[in-house]
Structure formats: C-alpha cells, structure tokens
C-alpha cells in the first residue's frame, strides 16, 4: 500500500548528509591550518616551488567547503522531508485504529500531532542530530592535528571544544528545558484557543463574548511570549560560553605554543597552525547551541507523537481471527455493555438486551438521549470493545477482524463528515470504483435528486470546507447516499433523520428501507415511538426501546 521510496529508512541519507557536513567543516579547518603554515613558511623566504603543494591545497579546500556544504543541505533536507512523511503516515494510521474513541481536536490533540509534532520530529534530525554529528567528526580531526603537533595544545583544544561544543549547548538546553516545555504546552494551548475562537465566531459575536474571548487569547499569547523570553536568557548563555571557550582555547594555544617554540619543542612554522586551527575548529561548533535547543524542543514533540502511537486500542483484534461469514448474515445480540475509553461509567449497559436479526430484518432502536444508542452502533461497527455477546452467524464480533466486520455491517453516523472534495468523491468513498451513474442514483435515492438537478456542475460540484456549504439536512443525505452505495448486507443508521423535516424524513427513510431490500437495517432514531403511528415504522419489523433501566422494553 505504500511506495518503497518513502518507506525506506531515511537513515542512509542522514548518514550521507553527516559525512558531507563533516567534510565541509573539515575543509574550513584545513584551509585555515594550511594557510597558517603557508604564511609562516613563506616568511622564511623559501623558493616558491616549496610552497606549491600548500598553495594548491589551500585553493582545493576553498572550493571543497562550498560544494560539500551544498550536497549536505540537499541530502539532509530530503531525508528530513521523508522522515516527516513517514511520521505523519504512522500517526495517521494509528489514529485510524483509534478512531472514533479519540477525538481529533482539543489541546495537543491528534490533529496537532499530525501537523506540528510530526514536523518537530523531522526537525530533530535535520537541525539537531545532524549538525552535532558533523561537528563531532570535523572537530575530532582538528584535535588529532593539534595533538600531533603539540600534545598539550591538542588536549587544550579538546577541552575547549568539549566546553564550547558540548557543555555550553547542554547547559543552555537543560537551563531552557522547563521554559521550553512550558512553551510547547503554551503554543498548543494558543493554537487550540485560536482555532476554537474562530470556529465559534458566530456564537461569540452573538453572545457579545468576543472581548472576553480575546482576553483569554491574550493570556494564552502572553504565556507563549513569557516562555519564549525565558528561554532567550539561557540560549544566549550557551552562545556566550561557546565564544568564551573559543577565545580561551586560542589564547591558551598561544600561551603553550610560544614557550614550546622558544624551547625548540615546536617548529616556529607551526606556531600559527597551533593558534589558528582552534579558531577555525570553533566555527564548526558555533551552531551547536541552537542545535541542542532544537533537540530539546523536538523531544516534547517526539513525546507527543509517541503518546499517540502508544494509546491503547479501543478494539482488541483477535489473535486468530475467524473467517468473516459469507452470505446473508444472521446478527444476534445477547446482552451488551460497552464503555468509551476514559468514560467514568458504562456508556451502554444493556445486559438483558436480546435481539435476533435474521437476514433482511429491519428494526428501529429508540431511547432517550444518552442511553447509549450511538454506543451500540459503535459496538456493531466494531469501533469499540464490548462485554456480552454480539454474534454474526454465530461468531462473536470480537473473534472477527474489525475491518471484516465493517465490510458486513456498515455504519452511517450522526456526525458524518463532508470532505473537501467533489460531491461524487464524497459519496464514492463508500464504494471505490462505483460509476458516476451509481453515485447519482444513490444521491437520488437519498432524496438529493432535485438538489443535484440545480447544481450547474452536478456531481463535480465541490462541497466541504472550500466548496459551497451544504445544509445540515444535505449533510445527512450525503451520508445516507454513502450508506446506500456501500454494498453491505447490514446497515446501521445512527439518527439519519436528525436534520430532516418530517415529510422529507419519512420519504427518505421509507425509500431507504425499501431500497435496503433484503439487507438487514438497524435504524437508530428519535422518531415517534408509537408503532404504526409513523409511516416509516410500517417498514420496520420490530421497535426496540433502550432504557436506562437494565431491562429492554420490546414493543410491536
């Protein structure tokens, strides 16, 4: 299902980028060291021929740095973008498993994880790990060079680089840690509050609650600003320490080199090399303070991504799934209790509920708001684990693969989403490959025929967020059209009539029940509970009323 190009681990590309980055930094160091030697040697007025190797090397290093840096940038960005794509797909796949038990919005909710936190994870490599690894390799080379020329200078450079390239960034990072954590949470809160305010704008305006709301946003904003200012103090501290370490290393190298030359331990040609190599080496660690901060910021992102990936399954897939029964299914319920993850009590408690649905039976389930009708629908669609017994041709649903169950039992929920695409695609998702005629037919059977006629672009009309708005009723009917198009033997319709006027609802539901033909239909509705008092119910074989009490009250 996924192309090999993006699933291949980006590790190879990252490694390549590290090598190129280290090469670029090494060129910079080598350029300075060679130039220092060249000048020192030249001051002794040797024949120019003696300097030729150094002259050529200096020019080569001058070119190499730019070319390698360019290669490193391209490879590393490519790797980071691949990593980002991979993380997003993994999070999305996990969310697909968790839905609908996890709500897609709210503070630091899954949507934020897909958008913001996944980006942080990719950033961690691109701007955190990668520059650190490159710098470590290049600086290692510089230390070896110094050690070889004058061991004490090598030791000093090593110490200086450790302080400037490791201690300083870590100090900055650990000092900023709390502020960063607060910033991540504050940023997420600000995002959530802003989205909320914009979503609820009409109501907030109508209620005159906008000034209060802007004040709440202002508070969230100030929290973000405060956190950012706080980490500024420590970020600056890290950079300052690096600059100090640079100066100190150069200074000490000079202080060690001068007596060594006087004592004859060091050739005078090499003094400039000893002093100027550290100067270039520290260029390599200059960015590490920022890299450490990036790493830290990304840690919170990585934590959030991991949190979503590790959420418990709302549905336990069977270890050894039974084959999904073929043919017209026989659905039986013998007591069922279920609870949404995190709910304080059972969302559906009907241990005595007994339902026997031979193929083609049409039943209506009624009951007060909050009694658990939608939870029952979620159990039937295998969105949620249950206690009790729900069987399909004698096989417990929990013993079947949940995707397989949904190929037999189709759910049309009350909060059906209209996607930002064409009308046709919105319906077709129920049965990929369905022809335009099939789609149009499904829309007509859902009562959208007249509307469809008025659309100049017909099925190609864009609906959803960027398209024209659809009314509540139209939204429900699009959901109905999906349910009709999906070729499932059992249809669970969760309040398909919530936004329809009586006349339309009766027509649509009647059409739907007729169109369902030999399919089993479980209609969850508020519609008038008096059997036969409603034209729809004439097409219903049985009406079941769920009550908060433990006993079901079968009617009809």
Partner 1 sequence: MPRPLDPRLVREARATAPFLVACAVSGGLAAACALAQAALLAHGIAKLTVPLALIGVVAFRGLLVWGQQVTAHRAAAGVKAQLRARVLDKVVRNRPDGSSGEITALVTRGVDALDPYFAGYLPQLVLSVIVPVTVVVALLVSDPQSALIVAVTLPLIPMFGALIGLYTAGRTRRRWRSLEVLAGHFTDVVSGLPTLKAFGRAKAQAAQIERITGEHRRATMGTLKIAFLSALVLEIAATLSVALVAVSVGLRLVSGSLTFETALFVLILAPEAYLPLRAAGAQFHAAQDGVAAAEKIFAALDAPGVSVPEDGSGRPHGEIRFEDVTVARRELVGPFSFTAPAGELTVLAGPSGLGKTTLLDVLLGFTPAASGRVLADGAEITPGDEWRRGIAWVPQRTFLIAGTVAENIALAVPGAPDGAVRRAAEAVGVTRFTSLDAEGSALSAGQRQRVALARAVLRVDLLDTPLVLLDEPTAHLDPRTELEILDLLDGPLRGRTIIATTHRSALLERADQLVRLDAVPVPA
Looking at 135, 158, 163, 235, which residue binds partner 1 (CB under 8 A)? 235
Q: What is the total count of residues that contact partner 1 (CB under 8 A)? A: 181
Q: Is 81 in the site for partner 1 (CB under 8 A)?
A: yes
Pair of tokens at residue 278: 């550290």
Min dist CB 451 to partner 1, Å, is 6
Min dist CB 151 to partner 1, Å, is 19
Min dist CB 536 to partner 1, Å, is 13
Site string for partner 1, 396-435 (x = CB under 8 A): -------x--xx--xxxxxxxxxxx--------xxxx---
**Residue closer to partner 1, measured from CB, 316 or 358:** 316
Looking at 208, 312, 327, 394, which residue binds partner 1 (CB under 8 A)? 208
Question: Which of 94, 288, 286, 84 lies closest to 173 in space, CA to CA?
Answer: 288
Question: Which of 240, 264, 244 lies closest to 252 in space, CA to CA?
Answer: 244
Pair of tokens at residue 24: 């670029």
Contacts of 284 (CB under 8 A, 6+ apart): 25, 28, 29, 134, 135, 138, 139, 142, 165
**Residue closer to partner 1, measured from CB, 469 or 553:** 469
Q: Is 438 in the site for partner 1 (CB under 8 A)?
A: no
Angle between helices 151-162 and 271-285 (to 10 degrees): 20
Rounded (to 5) percent helix, strand, coil in the chain: 65, 10, 25
Min dist CB 340 to partner 1, Å, is 9
Cα–Cα dist 144/281, whole Å: 12
Looking at 13, 65, 124, 339, which residue binds partner 1 (CB under 8 A)? 65
Find the binding residues for partner 1 in span 532-551 (CB under 8 A): none
Residue 53's alpha-carbon distances to 58, 63, 270, 431, 494, in angstroms, are: 9, 16, 16, 72, 82
Min dist CB 352 to partner 1, Å, is 21
Question: Which of 176, 180, 165, 168 lies closest to 298 in space, CA to CA?
Answer: 180
Residue with tokens 């097409």: 539
Looking at 8, 178, 468, 535, which residue binds partner 1 (CB under 8 A)? 468
Q: Please name every residue paired with 334 in a beta bridge, in sequence order, or none if there are none.
A: 354, 389
Find the binding residues for partner 1 in span 146-175 (CB under 8 A): none
CA 95 to chain centre: 9
Q: Is 487 in the site for partner 1 (CB under 8 A)?
A: no
Min dist CB 414 to partner 1, Å, is 6
Contacts of 350 (CB under 8 A, 6+ apart): 335, 336, 337, 372, 376, 388, 546, 550, 552
Min dist CB 538 to partner 1, Å, is 17
Min dist CB 500 to partner 1, Å, is 5
Q: Is 316 in the site for partner 1 (CB under 8 A)?
A: no
Q: Is 356 in the site for partner 1 (CB under 8 A)?
A: no
**Residue closer to partner 1, measured from CB, 99 or 358:** 99
**How many Cα neighbours within 13 Å face the side chain of 396?**
15
**Residue closer to partner 1, measured from CB, 167 or 334:** 167
Looking at 139, 145, 190, 336, which residue binds partner 1 (CB under 8 A)? 190
Q: Is 141 in the site for partner 1 (CB under 8 A)?
A: no
**Residue closer to partner 1, measured from CB, 334 or 499:** 499
**Residue closer to partner 1, measured from CB, 334 or 510:** 510
Looking at 339, 362, 445, 477, which residue binds partner 1 (CB under 8 A)? 477
Find the binding residues for partner 1 in span 86-125 (CB under 8 A): 88-89, 92-93, 95-96, 99-100, 103-107, 110-111, 114-116
Transcribe 280-337 into DSSP letters.
HHHHHHTTHHHHHHHHHHHHHHHHHHHHHHTSPPSSPPPSSPPPPPPSS--EEEEEEE
Residue with tokens 């070729």: 487
Angle between helices 472-485 and 436-443 (to 10 degrees): 130
Contact 372, 350 (CB under 8 A): yes
Q: Is 460 in the site for partner 1 (CB under 8 A)?
A: no
Q: Is 395 in the site for partner 1 (CB under 8 A)?
A: no
The strands making up 553-555's β-sheet, listed across from edge to edge, are 409-412, 490-494, 520-524, 362-367, 542-546, 553-555
The 10 Å Cβ neighbour count of residue 431 is: 17
Min dist CB 410 to partner 1, Å, is 7
**Residue closer to partner 1, measured from CB, 149 or 235:** 235
Contact 172, 235 (CB under 8 A): yes
Question: Which of 130, 259, 110 lies closest to 188 in space, CA to CA?
Answer: 110
Find the binding residues for partner 1 in span 246-305 (CB under 8 A): 246-248, 250-251, 254-255, 257-258, 261-262, 268, 271-272, 275-276, 279-280, 283
Q: Is 353 in the site for partner 1 (CB under 8 A)?
A: no
Q: Is 457 in the site for partner 1 (CB under 8 A)?
A: no
**Residue closer to partner 1, measured from CB, 50 or 358:** 50
Looking at 129, 162, 452, 529, which residue binds partner 1 (CB under 8 A)? 529
CA 34 to chain centre: 48
Q: Is 211 in the site for partner 1 (CB under 8 A)?
A: yes
Q: Is 309 in the site for partner 1 (CB under 8 A)?
A: no
**Residue closer to partner 1, measured from CB, 435 or 468:** 468
What does the angle CA 63 – CA 65 – CA 66 come to, to the nearest 5 degrees? 75
Looking at 53, 144, 178, 205, which residue binds partner 1 (CB under 8 A)? 205
**Residue closer to partner 1, measured from CB, 309 or 455:** 455
């Amino acid at each position: 299902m996924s192309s090999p190009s993006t699933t291949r681990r980006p590790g190879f590309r990252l490694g390549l980028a590290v090598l190129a980055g280290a090469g670029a930094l090494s060129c910079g160091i080598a350029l300075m060291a060679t130039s220092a030697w060249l000048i020192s040697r030249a001051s002794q007025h040797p024949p120019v021929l003696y300097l030729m190797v150094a002259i050529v090397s200096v020019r080569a290093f001058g070119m190499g740095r730019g070319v390698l840096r360019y290669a490193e940038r391209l490879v590393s960005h490519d790797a980071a973008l691949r990593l980002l794509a991979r993380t997003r797909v993994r999070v999305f796949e996990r969310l697909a498993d968790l839905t609908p038990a996890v709500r897609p919005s709210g503070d630091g909710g899954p949507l934020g994880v897909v958008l913001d936190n996944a980006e942080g994870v990719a950033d961690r490599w691109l701007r955190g790990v990668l520059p650190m690894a490159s710098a470590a390799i290049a600086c290692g080379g510089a230390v070896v060079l110094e050690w070889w020329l004058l061991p004490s200078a090598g030791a000093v450079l090593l110490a200086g680089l450790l302080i400037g390239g490791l201690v300083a960034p870590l100090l900055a990072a650990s000092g900023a840690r709390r502020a960063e954590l607060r910033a991540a949470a504050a940023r997420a809160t600000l995002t959530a509050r802003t989205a909320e305010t914009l979503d609820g704008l009409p109501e907030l305006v109508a209620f005159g609650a906008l000034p209060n709301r802007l004040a709440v946003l202002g508070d969230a904003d100030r929290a973000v600003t405060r956190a950012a200012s706080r980490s500024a103090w420590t970020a600056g501290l890290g950079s300052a320490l690096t600059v100090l370490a640079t100066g100190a290393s150069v200074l000490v190298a000079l202080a060690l080199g001068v007596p060594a030359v006087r004592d004859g331990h060091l050739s005078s040609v090499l003094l400039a090399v000893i002093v100027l190599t550290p100067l270039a080496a520290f260029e390599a660690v200059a960015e590490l303070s920022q890299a450490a901060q990036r790493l830290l910021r990304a840690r919170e992102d990585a934590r959030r991504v991991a949190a979503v990936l590790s959420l418990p399954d709302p549905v336990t897939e069977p270890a050894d799934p039974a084959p999904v029964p073929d043919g017209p299914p026989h659905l039986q319920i013998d007591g069922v209790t279920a609870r949404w993850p995190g709910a304080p009590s059972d969302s559906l408690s009907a241990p005595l509920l007994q339902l026997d649905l031979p193929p083609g039976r049409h039943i209506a389930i009624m009951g007060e708001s909050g009694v658990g009708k939608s939870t029952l629908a979620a159990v039937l669609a295998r969105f949620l684990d249950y206690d009790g017994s729900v069987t399909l041709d004698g096989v417990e649903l929990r013993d079947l693969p949940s995707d397989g169950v949904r190929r037999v039992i189709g759910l049309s929920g009350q909060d059906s989403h209209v996607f930002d695409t064409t009308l046709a695609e919105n319906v077709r998702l129920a049965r990929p490959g369905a022809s335009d005629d099939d789609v149009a037919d499904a829309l007509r059977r859902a009562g959208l025929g007249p509307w469809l006629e008025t659309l100049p672009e017909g099925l190609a009309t864009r609906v959803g967020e960027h398209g024209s708005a659809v009314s509540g009723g139209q939204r429900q009917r699009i959901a109905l059209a999906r349910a009709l198009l999906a070729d499932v033997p059992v249809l669970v319709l969760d309040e398909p009539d919530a936004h329809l006027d009586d006349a339309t609802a009766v027509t649509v539901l009647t059409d739907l029940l007729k169109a369902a033909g030999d399919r089993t239909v479980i209609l969850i509705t508020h519609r008038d509970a008096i059997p036969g008092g409603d034209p729809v119910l004439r097409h219903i074989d049985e009406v079941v009323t769920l009550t908060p009490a433990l006993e079901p009250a079968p009617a009809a």
